[in-house]
Amino acid sequence: MRFAANLSMMFTERPFLDRFGAAAAAGFDAVEFLFPYDVPAERIRAALDAHGLTQALFNLPPGDWAAGERGIASLPGREAEFREGVATAIAYAKALGNRLLHCMAGIPPEGLERDAALATYTGNLRHAAAACAEAGLTLLVEPINNRDMPGYLMNGTALARRVIGEVGAPNLKLQLDLYHCQISEGDLATRIRANADLTAHVQIAGVPDRQEPDRGEVNYPYLFEVLAETGYRGFIGCEYRPRARTEDGLGWFHAASTRAAR
What single-letter amino acid sits at 85?
Answer: G
Task: Give the torsion sign (CA, 106, 88, 160, 225).
Answer: negative
Annotation marks residue 42 as catalytic? no
Name the DSSP class of 17: G
End-to-end CA separation in angstroms for the chain: 11
Contacts of 240 (CB under 8 A, 6+ apart): 6, 9, 10, 179, 204, 205, 206, 210, 211, 212, 213
Distance of CA 81 to the CA centre of its chain: 21
Give the whole-angstrom CA distance, residue 73 versus residue 62: 9
Catalytic, out of 69, 212, 239, 247: 239
Catalytic residue at 81? Answer: no
- In angstroms, what CA-CA distances link 135 with 95, 139, 152, 196? 12, 11, 28, 24
Query: Per the residue annotation, which of 13, 42, 79, 142 is the catalytic one?
Result: 142
Q: Tell me, what amino acid is at 73?
A: A
Q: Which residues are catalytic?
A: 142, 239
